[in-house]
Structure 1
Amino acid sequence: MASTEDKPANKENTSSWKDSIYNPRTGEVLGRTASSWALILLFYLVFYCFLAGMFALTMWVMLLTLDDNVPRYRDRVPSPGLVIRPHSLDIAFNKSKPLEYAQYVQHLESFLQSYNDTEQEKNLDCTRGDYFNQEDTEEMIKKACRFKRSSLSLCSGLSDTNFGYSEGRPCILLKMNRIIGLRPRGDPYINCTVKRENPIQMQYFPSEGSIDKMYFPYYGKRIHENYVQPLVAVKLLLTKEDYNKELAVECRVEGSDLRNNDERDKFLGRITFRIKVVE
């Protein structure tokens, strides 16, 4: 049986624990009076408002140094990559089965919609061979040079709606990635080769696979909204000896200072794709 001396001790311990949360004698909550809590809360309120103000000021100053239309740092991608349409690095089809190449034809037709003559009439007929430099104006909207799909001739999809796939002589469209402010030196053009001993005849549209300087520089998506990249179409003139074989085709940007031999980036200024036509 517990002694009567233990009861006051237990009562004192309980009272001490409750007093640590709220002490009715001093009015303290968690060891602080109301005024003490008010002061410390005021301190942290002022402190965090100061930090928020410093952060907002820093962001505001940083945003003042940025341009809404042009990235501040553009040194990581000095040269453009090269891409193809149809958007596939492995093109294989039977020229006698329209369903097998229909996807490629539809992709090309869809891609060329923005190059329709009716769309390109909105753009300017620029001077060939010269950069189309534009000064800053109040409107800030940059004009674009005209590139009509009809300039792709046999690969335009106008005279041959199958882009040569039905006859086993397919068209491949190539374009460079957009880089703001790029002005390539020299006269860039696209050159394609097949990795085998016997060369394959090819046709280029525009002639010689040229990329005119008038499509440079590019000023950015927001202020150069009507801009379209210049295209080069390559028509592979395959023969019966070329059918049923997988051919590796490499295309490069030549004739300028644009890089096309970086072993760390296989798509910088060049691209390799495979094509197989079944008879």
Structure 2
Amino acid sequence: MALNTFYKVLIGVVSAVVVALVIALPVVFLCCGGVDKQVPGLRAIPEKDILMKEGDPKSVQPYVDEMTEFLKPYVEMPNKKGVINCNSTVRPQGDQVCNYPESLLNLCGRSYNFGFNKSMPCILLTLTMDESFRPTPYESLKELPDDIPRDLRSDMEEDLENGKLRKGIWVDCNSEYLYTPKPLFPDYYYDNLDAAGYLPPIVAVKFKLTDKKNEDIKVECRLWGKDIDSTDERSKVSFTLRLE
């Protein structure tokens, strides 16, 4: 009887370990697959500092390849079911998601090598939100804080829609820049975060390095919204650009 009891206990322990492993393994696979790319917060693509050598296409090819790979799901998006073209009045319903046309990237798109062939590289910014990180947009110019960057305030004022501030989370980078399409992640992209096929919007930032050769250009891009804590690492991203 004692021996049978021992084996029963042993079988029970082994079974429990096997069940635990079966449950845990998918979590590990999910963690280490594509899910980690959707960590809430501001993200820059390429996810590394930029070192360019003038006249050397090989020096920039890894950055171009990374950005091209990142854009693949966006390029394929229009062919997917439930994808619609959104704006401030046309918003996703049910299982719909907002399309992000590659044409919005303009001179920061693939056909222009993301600006790397002209020593005017683009960085792609994306903002992923979930319930743990969902900043609230400013409702009016009166709500803007005193320390908001002057250039960003000017962009907001010039881009008023029927006299009202556009809804969304704004972004500003502390360097010479050109935003495409504008320094704003529109709020309608965040109506349906859990729908299948959802992708976050993109803001491209173009930098001119030809006048700053052999300098380390340190850039920090930061989100601006009503309840964003400036100390929250999810609200900003930093990187360095250099042209040799």
TM range (shorter): 0.5 to 0.7
Structure 2's unaligned 5+ residue stretches are 21-38, 138-167
Of 59, 62, 65, which aligns to 1:100? Answer: 59
Find out whether 1:271 has 2:222 as its counterpart: no
Match of 2:193 in 1: 218
1:243 pairs with 2:194: no
Superposed counterparts of 1:109-188, under 5 Å: 109-116=68-75, 118-122=76-80, 123-128=83-88, 132=92, 134=94, 142-158=95-111, 160=112, 162-179=113-130, 183-186=134-137, 187-188=168-169
Q: Distance in 1 between matches of 2:120 and 2:134?
A: 34
> Runs in 1 of length 4+ with deviation above 6 angstroms?
41-49
- The alignment status of 1:193 with 2:179, answered yes or no, reads no
Where do residues 44-63 of structure 1 align in structure 2 (5 Å cutoff)?
none
Aligned partners of 2:119 and 2:5: how far apart in 1?
79
RMSD over equivalenced CA pairs, Å: 3.2
Query: Which structure would you say has the larger RCO, counting Cα contacts within 8 Å and 6 or more residues apart?
Result: 2
Partner Cα separation in structure 1 for residue 129 and residue 237 of structure 2: 16
Where 1:268 maps in the other structure, the secondary structure is helix
How far residue 246 of structure 1 moved from its aligned partner, in angstroms, is: 0.4
> Structure 1, unaligned stretches of length 5 or more?
1-38, 60-78, 135-141, 195-199
Q: CA deviation at 1:256?
A: 4.0
**Displacement after TM superposition at 1:260 (Å):** 3.4
Residue 156 of structure 1 and its aligned partner are, at CA, apart by 1.5
1:95, 1:101 within 8 Å by CA — same for their partners in 2?
no
State the TM-score, normalizing by the size of structure 2. Answer: 0.66
- List per-residue Cα deviations over 1:17-57 (Å, max 9, x = no partner): xxxxxxxxxxxxxxxxxxxxxx65677799999x99xx9xx
Structure with more of its chain in helix, by fraction: 2
Superposed CA deviations along residues 176-205 of structure 1, whole A, max 9, x for unmatched, are 2342586532120221003xxxxx2x1111
- Report the secondary structure of 2:115's partner residue: coil
Alpha carbons of 1:183 and 1:42: their partners in 2 closer, same or farther (altered >3 Å)? same
Residue 91 of structure 1: which of 50, 61, 72 is its match? 50
Q: For 1:62-77, what aligned pairs fall within 5 Å after superposition?
A: none
Cα-to-partner distance string for 1:123-149 (whole Å, 9 max, x where unaligned): 112342687464xxxxxxx32111111
| Higher-Rg member (1/2) | 1
Match of 1:205 in 2: 180
